[in-house]
Amino acid sequence: DAGVIQSPRHEVTEMGQEVTLRCKPISGHNSLFWYRQTMMRGLELLIYFNNNVPIDDSGMPEDRFSAKMPNASFSTLKIQPSEPRDSAVYFCASSFPSGRTDTQYFGPGTRLTVL
Amino acid sequence: GENVEQHPSTLSVQEGDSAVIKCTYSDSASNYFPWYKQELGKRPQLIIDIRSNVGEKKDQRIAVTLNKTAKHFSLHITETQPEDSAVYFCAARNTGTASKLTFGTGTRLQVTL
């Protein structure tokens, strides 16, 4: 398995532009997580899905952020409009919670820079 | 909700020495405690985890201990090597929040020669 796939790996955009980050979870995993990592705030959970349904979006900073999971193999995180303070590394992770293992596997991340 | 505190924020040890990182959690219902290692510019990766029905778990040079009564757990790295230099995150999960992990703020470990 290729692991969790994220695209793009790097994104540089100007303030006000729409940004879409993409994630393909590990095949067979039914939980998907979006995290944001910055030096100041550490690793923050933004939203997570279970069986394609959003379970907890309390970490989404504001209405400019939205996430979708139209099927088991694809999710997007959209920021519209983007602002400089959104600059961070965004990680997607997936897992298959069971009685034996709950390991979350992280993707390589998308480094977003908003100018 | 769950709150996880992690100490110290930075730790410098000499090669061959031991390193200990400590975390506390607030929710007594938490039952799963993983530790992640993140090297510079890389993704977090699981290195060891422990469940609430176990007090200690070892994997070569790495061990994790859990004290449910005190609600704290610790990562122990023995015979540290330069490649252990990274940021380490603890996390906690409880059955009430399904898959959701709450992460600590991270410890930057530097192993010096």
Q: What secondary structure, in 3-state letters, does chain B show?
A: CCCEEEECCEEEEECCCCEEEEEEECCCCEEEEEEEEECCCCCCEEEEEEECCCCEEEECCEEEEEECCCCEEEEEECCCCHHHCEEEEEEEEEHHHCCCCEECCCEEEEEEC
Quote the minimal CA–CA distance from A107 to chain B in Å: 7
Residue in B43, B99, B100 closest to A91 by CB: B43
pLDDT in tens, A43-99: 999 999 999 999 989 899 889 999 999 999 999 999 999 999 999 999 999 998 765
User: Per-residue pLDDT for B95 more than 80?
Assistant: no
Q: Answer whether B99 touches A (CB < 8 Å).
A: yes
Phi/psi for B31 (5° steps) reads: -135, 5
The answer to whether A28 and A96 are in contact (CB under 8 A) is: yes
The answer to whether B66 and B33 are in contact (CB under 8 A) is: yes
Task: Determine, for residues A33 and B99 on separate chains, whether the beta-carbon distance falls below 8 Å.
Answer: yes
**A14: number of Cβ within 10 Å:** 11
Q: Which is more confidently placed, B83 or A103?
A: B83
Quote the minimal CA–CA distance from B70 to chain A in Å: 24
pLDDT in tens, B10-52: 999 999 999 999 999 999 888 899 999 999 999 999 999 998 8
List of long-range contacts for A97-105, beta carbons under 8 Å, 24+ apart: A97/A30, A97/A31, A97/B98, A97/B99, A102/B32, A102/B34, A102/B49, A102/B93, A102/B99, A103/B34, A103/B46, A103/B49, A104/A31, A104/A33, A104/B34, A104/B46, A104/B99, A104/B101, A105/A3, A105/A4, A105/A26, A105/A29, A105/B46
Mean pLDDT score across all residues of chain B = 93
Q: Answer whether B52 touches A (CB < 8 Å).
A: no
* pLDDT number for residue A103: 86
In terms of phi and psi (left: phi > 0; alpha: psi -120 to 50; beta: otherwise), the region of A16 is left
